[in-house]
Amino acid sequence: MKGLLQFLLAKIILLAALASSFVYSYDPNPLQDYCVATNETNGVYVNGKFCKDPKLVTADDFFYSGLNIPGNTNNRLGSTVTDVDVRRIPGLNTLGVAIARFDFAPGGQIPPHIHPRASQIILVLKGKLLVGFVASNDYNYTLFSKVLYPGDVFAFPIGLVQFHANIGNTNAVAIGVVGSQDPGVIPIGNAVFGSKPLIDPKLLAKAFALDVNTVRHIQGVFSNEDYIVN
Ligand SMILES: *[C@@H]1O[C@H](CO)[C@@H](O)[C@H](O)[C@H]1NC(C)=O
Ligand SMILES: *[C@@H]1O[C@H](CO)[C@@H](O)[C@H](O)[C@H]1NC(C)=O
């Protein structure tokens, strides 16, 4: 009897842990109209931010200007991402959305990456983009890919590896919207080859069927450059 109880208790704790990890995969629904993030630390604390006194909230707390300005694509990848998330619009705290501008030089790309906390939808404004995402093992690593032109929209499921590449002869511009105030980004190259400290190159050589010197070279590249998010 005692053994059964312990077993059930362990099961319940495990299920609760799993359930909460699912719940926290997404931004929780707000219980108030807004909770504008503030650096004052004497208010209510929601979603990792303190809320500004609602009486002091203004339209500017929900405002950002400047996404008309092209980002600087003068980097190895020929691209840049200008994020407008809760760091730039404090009123986004608890709202579960954010927006970004993607700029690409000809041949530029946003390399394979994951947004761990949000699905994404993009709208191409200019140029010709090859985009795609790869399904998980459960779906046979299927590649879903499209060439997009101005006016085209494409959606990327949360947590899957995705990429965007400019395959046209001109600059390309797209707008991306995500279902989180702060979706996070895990660029695969930076995470695997640019971690701090570095993962043992012998381990990565085996994992990726590379020789150790190649791994050291790749680690040199990724540990010496920042990902292209502004
Ligand atoms: C909070 O402080 C950070 C760092 O000084 C600053 O970048 C940010 O704009 C501040 N946020 C607000 C809502 O004032
Ligand atoms: C994945 O591949 C297996 C084996 O070929 C097949 O039975 C299954 O239907 C495929 N699933 C999907 C989602 O494509």
pLDDT at 29: 79
Could you tell me the distance, in angstroms and rounded to a whole number, from the CA of residue 157 to the centre of ligand 2?
Answer: 19
Strands 186-187 and 153-156 come out as unpaired
Provide CB contacts within 8 A for 7, sequence distance 6+: none
Give residue for tokens 């405002």: 63
pLDDT at 4: 54
Could you tell me the distance, in angstroms and rounded to a whole number, from the CA of residue 69 to the centre of ligand 1?
Answer: 22
For the chain, the structural domain boundaries read 79-222
Nearest-CA residue for atom 2 of ligand 2: 140
pLDDT at 13: 44
Provide CB contacts within 8 A for 54, sequence distance 6+: 32, 33, 34, 36
Could you tell me the distance, in angstroms and rounded to a whole number, from the CA of residue 52 to the centre of ligand 1?
Answer: 12
Could you tell me the distance, in angstroms and rounded to a whole number, from the CA of residue 143 to the centre of ligand 2?
Answer: 13
| Paired tokens of 47 | 């979603």
Could you tell me the distance, in angstroms and rounded to a whole number, from the CA of residue 39 to the centre of ligand 1?
Answer: 6
| The CATH number of domain 79-222, selected from 3.40.50.1980, 3.40.50.300, 2.60.120.10, 3.40.390.30 | 2.60.120.10
Residues, the chain: 230
CB of 141 within 6 A of ligand 2: the answer is no
Q: Which atom of ligand 1 approaches the CA of 52 most closely? A: 13
In tens, the pLDDT along 181-209 reads: 999 999 999 999 999 999 999 999 999 99
pLDDT at 47: 65
pLDDT at 6: 58
Pocket test of ligand 1: the residue of 34, 35, 39 to mutate, having most ligand atoms within 8 Å of its CB, is: 39
Taking alpha carbons only, the member of 190, 214, 32 closest to residue 111 is: 190
Tell me whether residue 164 is annotated as binding.
no
Taking alpha carbons only, the member of 71, 70, 77, 38 closest to residue 54 is: 38
pLDDT at 168: 97
Pocket test of ligand 2: the residue of 140, 141, 144 to mutate, having most ligand atoms within 8 Å of its CB, is: 140
pLDDT at 65: 97
Nearest-CA residue for atom 3 of ligand 1: 39
Q: Tell me how many degrees the CA angle 75-76-82 measures, rounded to the nearest 5.
A: 45
CB of 139 within 6 A of ligand 2: the answer is yes
pLDDT at 63: 98
Contact present, 126 and 77 (Cβ < 8 Å): no
Closest ligand to the CA of 136: 2
Task: Give the DSSP H or E segment for 130.
Answer: strand 129-134
| Paired tokens of 165 | 């590449």
pLDDT profile of the chain (230 residues), mean per 10: 52 45 62 86 70 93 97 96 95 94 98 96 98 97 98 98 98 97 94 96 98 97 84
Cβ < 6 A, ligand 1 pocket: 37-39, 90
pLDDT at 45: 66
Q: In the sheet where 45-46 sits, what is the strand order?
A: 37-38, 49-51, 45-46
